[in-house]
Amino acid sequence: MERKLGRDNHSKISRFLSSTETATSRFILTACAVLGPRGDQTSGCRVEWLAFCEEQDIPVKLPSFRSNRFNCYFEAAAKLLQNINAGKMFLDGGFLAHENLLIDSVRGDAADDTLMTLVSALSVLFIHFTGPFWALIKSSFSLKLFSACVQELERSLADLLQDPSPIFQPTFCTPISEKFPVDGALKDAVCLFIQNLSQANREYFINALKA
């Protein structure tokens, strides 16, 4: 994608443009560093964020990237998307005790609808594939069940990449996400975001999913 996304449209931050990191990855990693556990304790604002969430009665738990779980990246995308409106309210609402370029980066990225559309593609992969697959790994599975689920996962992913249109239906699910569903509130938030995408952003979403 040639166009600048998120913070790259802001002059005081755009000089940090990286050719080796996508805007999507930058947002996920930086937002978790600012808001999440074991993030940047000096430049972050986790204390204020947790106080805001408690005051607003927002249940939020971002994953730590110090974990070696393969699906942390996808889980973080889904949970950031679930709380994107609360996050923007927090960053723009005078709740911060300090400001810095790291926080400005997250603010600029979170305000970009196209960038959030790309994040939503990763969120869908968590809801329907990597999240359930991780639940399968943690379960007391038999080798036969594991093999069958992996084959179903491969077929479902291939089908979705061939024709992504069913993903926009509220009833969409995959065999593995039926057997090992993720948190219902998280799934509902991601699905609602996807269903409300504009036609232009649906095209961005489909291209991101196929990338």
Contact 101, 14 (CB under 8 A): no
Place of tokens 């990855």: 25
Is 11 inside a domain boundary? no
3-state secondary structure of 104: helix
Instruction: Give 22-73 pLDDT, tens digit per residue.
Output: 889 999 999 998 998 765 667 788 889 999 999 988 887 787 766 667 788 9
Instruction: Give 141-192 pLDDT, tens digit per residue.
Output: 788 888 999 999 999 999 999 999 999 998 999 999 999 999 999 999 999 9
Place of tokens 């927002």: 58
Is 4 inside a domain boundary? no
Which structural domain, as residue segments, surrounds residue 104?
21-210
Is 13 inside a domain boundary? no
Is 3 inside a domain boundary? no
CA atoms of 195 and 158, how far apart (whole Å): 21
The count of structural domains within the chain is: 1
Is 190 inside a domain boundary? yes
- Collect contacts of 154-159 with beta carbons under 8 A, ≥24 apart: 156/128, 156/129, 157/129
Is 8 inside a domain boundary? no
Is 73 inside a domain boundary? yes
Element (DSSP H or E) covering residue 199: helix 199-210
> For residue 117, which amino acid is it?
T
Asked whether the predicted pLDDT for residue 193 surpasses 80, the reply is yes
How does DSSP assign 152-173, residue by residue?
A: HHHHHHHHHHH--GGGGSTT--
Is 85 inside a domain boundary? yes
Q: Assign 1 a pLDDT band (cuts: 50, 70, 90).
A: very low
Q: What are phi and psi of 162, to 5 degrees?
A: -70, -40
